[in-house]
A and B are shown apart, each in its own frame.
Chain A
Amino acid sequence: MAFTITCPICGPRSGYEFRYGGQDKGPRPDPAEMTPETWCDYVHMTDSCPGVQKEWWYHRAGCGIWFTIYRDTTTNLEVSPDSPEAVA
């Protein structure tokens, strides 16, 4: 399946130039309050919900940066960060 991802440095490129980095789950849990369970949840548990999610991508065949986009997993189309689906 081919789709386009917009790199903040290089612009729109073929999805084949990128490596998926997983769902963006926000900042790491605070080490002072972290338990094995919270760390396990942070590392391994993902929402896996159909719809728009914020996720990490790596431009491995291009400029080599990590960045986040919002993508609708049911259509493979990027969604603007300002759209209602992304905000939700």
Chain B
Amino acid sequence: MKPDNRLRQSPVQLDGRPHRTLVRDHWPVVCEYADEGDGPWLVDLSHCQRIDIQARPLAAMIPEGLPEPEAPGEVRIQDQSLITRMGKAQACLWRFGQAAAFPVGFNGTEITEATLALAILGRHTFAIAEKLSSLDLQAPGRSLPRLYQGPFAQVPCQLVVLDAAAGREMLLLSCSRGYGRDMVGAITNAGAEFNLRPAGEDRFMRMFENREKGA
């Protein structure tokens, strides 16, 4: 029997020239684009593993060693993973880069193939977001990182504000895969005036690791 070398396909293609790519877990990954510029950047993270957890109590389902966000809206970062608490009995795990796979037998529902994941990074990130959503992503008094669930470009999304400090802005976005092309089109159009450029996973990982160290 021949080995199955088919590749997964991201729901979106960013309008840039990939400079360095690799294949990880059957997903083609762009590590770096040529001419990424000074930011802001748009990064396709659809290849990153995402797992939906629904349980009561929730703590019983979170893999050992990872922290549990205590209240809806809270987010925890550890070991290149991110956990968002969406409700009383629901959370979502994100695994970035080369983070260790979640344990075999772990009872979450993998939603990686069913959803789109993007990151908007760098200066003007929230100016771009403001053009596409009425959500108050920069509400003062809320600790970061923070999860918001609501419409972005009129699509129900999960939005994670990872950092809002000047020059280190990071916004993660996830929605149903079918909205991918239109979502990227809306973000690209909104970011045109700020010179939004596609960027590879490496740029996201550098910023995420810095954020994790400071978390």
Contacts and interface: CB of A to CB of B under 8 A. Distances in A.
Contacts of A59: 149
Interface in A3-47: 9-10, 13-14, 17
Contacts of A13: 150
Contacts of A17: 150-151
B120 to A, nearest CB: 20
Nearest to B154: A61
Contacts of B73: 9-10
Contacts of A62: 149-151, 156
Contacts of B72: 9-10, 63
Given A9-B72, A9-B87, A63-B87, A14 B134 contact: yes
Interface of A: 9-10, 13-14, 17, 59-65
24 contacts: A9-B72, A9-B73, A9-B149, A10-B72, A10-B73, A10-B148, A10-B149, A10-B150, A13-B150, A14-B134, A17-B150, A17-B151, A60-B156, A61-B150, A61-B151, A61-B156, A62-B150, A62-B151, A62-B156, A63-B72, A63-B87, A64-B87, A64-B149, A65-B87
